[in-house]
Structure 1
Amino acid sequence: MTQLTSQPVSVAARDLGSGDMRYYDFVMAAFVAIILLSNVLGAGKVAQVWLPGVGQWPFGAGILFFPVSYVIGDVLTEVYGYARARRVIWAGTIAVLFMAFMSWVVVALPPAPGWNNQAAYQTIFGQVPRIVLASVCAFWAGEFVNSYVLARMKLLTQGRMLWARTIGSTIAGEGIDSLIFYPLAFLGAAGWTSELVLTVLFTQWALKVAWEVVLTPVTYAIVGFLKRREGIDVYDRGTNFTPFAARL
């Protein structure tokens, strides 16, 4: 299945079995790395950008890179099928949970005498349990919705209009992600009114979908490269779409 061909062969995902794929491991590693780095480096900083006619507009810095995980999720489902994407989503979920646990343990350890960076370390790596729970739940549900919608749309469109599948699945997946994360993380919290939660929710969702639209040519290029290299074009005919499974 991994020979280089000029025209990928259409194949049902269930017929692939557990055979090795040439680039699957690399795509999985990229997905997990972006998820972890987005949570560590991007989640805690509020940046701002100047918009014509609006002025300075604040935004969460993580939005610059977190949506790339949805692009890679689209690539995984489009190229390798829902079952292999499911494994990657679970790998990302477990990695985020371990990162949160490790952050909690390391921050809680008493600092050595003379080490004066505990406060800064706590600010950067301290985890608020409510936000961690919201982040993990939203990521897990959003990614599975994204993968499911894309796989189903591929069957309905018979593999045509990749742009419609990637954007449509992101609208659904990022929508579920935002609907879970912002109310669960901030509704009722100090300084967060219901109106502010809804405003941030819809703003972030719109920006993430816009990123998907902007990155569509990149998605096309990566999907085309991987399909040619793997020599396959996977369709999820007869796939078991439950998220609670590990079998291919």
Structure 2
Amino acid sequence: MTTRPLEDRATRLFILLAAFFCVNAVLAEFIGVKIFALEDTLGLKPFEWNLFGQTGSLNFTAGTLLWPIVFIMTDTVNEYYGRRGVRFISWLAAGLIVYGFAFAFVAIHLAPASWWVGVAKDQGVPDYQAAFAAVFGQGLWTIWGSLIAFIIGQLIDVSVFHRIRRATGERHAWLRATGSTAVSQLIDSFVVLYIAFVIGPQHWPTSLFLAVGSLNYLYKMAAAIALIPLLYLARAAIHRYLGHARAAELREHAAGA
């Protein structure tokens, strides 16, 4: 008897992983406009870093809260659905990011209702339209830099993941997950800054570009290492859901493909 597509647990799992991957990627792009102070958030004394002649505190975009989850989703899909699975969800997420920003651009240019512009004055927002445009109207250089870096990072991640997998076999899942993230995010962290802030209108000096890129990379790697237990929890949950035989079949196919 033929199993209907949506009755197949492997198909439903892929839909779930793809949906969670895409919503995290799109949301990370939109909330990334906010810069937060890590030390103040944690109630710690400001840490003054000094790199390449530049100094500052630990400030990151809010999007960095979600990117480690995207890394976990990437490695999980890679593990069970292989290169084609990761490439599919990566291009799907990129398309959804463009779709989201396109409609944000349209929404910004809709004529605001006159009463709505001043509706939040009591909350310290005298011009709601200006605030809306500032939050959702991220610069084109930032949008394209982030999008290009995302695609390059994902394609590199899937390639490195399978190179490590061929070398280690089915052992050391943490190594292929962390190793692929280490290489892909090294590229991603600098590509997005280079496009958005070096060749973009701000024209950052090389020292600032290297300092901020290095700091962002170190943060991403620290988060990736901290989330290794989550990777194993996801694997255990998938094996319980699919059954060990079906999970092993998917992993074998993903490795071979």
TM-score range, shorter chain: 0.7 to 0.9
Q: Equivalent residue for 2:193?
A: 182
Counterpart pick for 2:13 among 16, 23, 26: 23
Q: Equivalent residue for 1:218?
A: 230
- Kept in 2: contact 1:79–1:226 (CA 8 A): no
Q: Give the CA deviation at 1:228.
A: 4.0
Q: Equivalent residue for 2:47?
A: 54
Q: Secondary structure at the match of 2:209?
A: helix
Q: Provide the aligned C-alpha RMSD in A.
A: 2.2
Mapped to 1, the partners of 2:237 and 2:47 lie a distance apart of 40
Q: Equivalent residue for 1:44?
A: 33
Deviations 1:116-157 (A, max 9, x none): 021111111113111111011000110121122112221221
Q: Give the CA deviation at 1:237.
A: 4.8
Q: Give the CA deviation at 1:86.
A: 1.4
Relative contact order higher in (CA < 8 Å, ≥ 6 apart) = 1
Q: Give the CA deviation at 1:190.
A: 2.9
Specify the code of the residue in structure 2 equivalent to 1:232: A
Counterpart pick for 2:138 among 108, 111, 127: 127
Q: Secondary structure at the match of 1:190?
A: coil
Q: Equivalent residue for 1:203?
A: 215
Mapped to 1, the partners of 2:9 and 2:63 lie a distance apart of 35
Q: Secondary structure at the match of 2:222?
A: helix
Counterpart pick for 1:165 among 173, 176, 190: 176
Mapped to 2, the partners of 1:23 and 1:122 lie a distance apart of 37
Displaced runs of 4+ in structure 1, greater than 6 A? none
Mapped to 1, the partners of 2:203 and 2:193 lie a distance apart of 13
Q: Secondary structure at the match of 1:114?
A: helix
Is 1:152 the counterpart of 2:167 in the alignment? no
Deviations 1:169-219 (A, max 9, x none): 001111121121111110154373221111111110111011110000010
Question: Identity of counterpart residues, as a percentage?
Answer: 26
Mapped to 1, the partners of 2:159 and 2:45 lie a distance apart of 38
Specify the code of the residue in structure 1 equivalent to 2:130: A
The structure having more radius of gyration, on CA atoms, is: 2
Q: Secondary structure at the match of 1:109?
A: coil
Q: Equivalent residue for 1:245?
A: none
- Kept in 2: contact 1:70–1:146 (CA 8 A): no
Counterpart pick for 2:247 among 224, 228, 232: 232
- Normalized per residue, the structure richer in helix is 2
Deviations 1:61-90 (A, max 9, x none): 221222210111011101222211211111
- Kept in 1: contact 2:82–2:255 (CA 8 A): no
TM-score by length of 1: 0.82
Change (3 A) 1:158 1:128: same
Q: Secondary structure at the match of 1:59?
A: strand
Mapped to 2, the partners of 1:163 and 1:201 lie a distance apart of 24
Specify the code of the residue in structure 1 equivalent to 2:206: S
Q: Equivalent residue for 2:54?
A: none
Specify the code of the residue in structure 2 equivalent to 1:102: F
Q: Give the CA deviation at 1:52.
A: 5.5
Change (3 A) 1:165 1:52: farther
Q: Secondary structure at the match of 2:115?
A: coil
Unmatched runs of 5 consecutive residues or more in structure 2:
49-56, 118-127
Unmatched runs of 5 consecutive residues or more in structure 1:
4-17, 240-248
Q: Give the CA deviation at 1:111.
A: 1.6
